[in-house]
Amino acid sequence: MIQGVNYAGVTPIPASPDDTEYVHCNFSKKSPKKVAGEVVGHKLWPRSKKKITFRDCNLVNCEPPKNAILVGCNTAIVEPNIIIGKRIMEIEGNLREFNRVKHVFHGRWNQNTKEYDRPENPIESLHGLPEPRVDRIVEDT
């Protein structure tokens, strides 16, 4: 068993022996990739035929091996921090510029079908604006 290891940003992830169980490990990737126009996760060990179990792991923007067993893992496919505009605010007498961003949820990996479950349309959520004491909003684009 391999427990609590952060593999985020590690490329390539070290190969593991057959019957390895990963518990509370982070394999997440910063953003998904596009293959033939479709937003998908980065394949973990794409040619592996080993039996690997992921338990309570962060697999955001990852595609586990086809024969892997997933228990309680986060398998969301999310495009983060897409800049959609800027906001200039006056805060305590100073002008500050902030990016207005959104995250787009494209679906998640389905353990049973070995495919992505996708919403009919990607789900967008807005983020990126601070909650300080704002004197006034100068410009919003």
Tens-digit pLDDT profile for residues 120-139: 888 877 665 555 566 666 76
Task: State how far the Cα of 89 lies from the Cα of 103, in Å rounded to an integer.
Answer: 22
Q: Does residue 82 have a pLDDT over 80? A: no
pLDDT reported for residue 52: 92
Torsion of the alpha carbons at 61, 63, 8 and 98, rounded to the nearest 10? -10
More confident residue, 100 or 8: 8
pLDDT reported for residue 60: 96
pLDDT reported for residue 87: 81
Q: How many domains does the chain have?
A: 1
% pLDDT > 70, the chain: 89
Q: Which domain holds residue 84?
A: 2-140
**Tens digit of pLDDT for each residue in 8-37?**
988 888 888 888 999 999 999 999 999 998
89 contacts: CB under 8 Å, gap ≥ 6: 95, 96, 98, 134, 135, 136, 137, 138
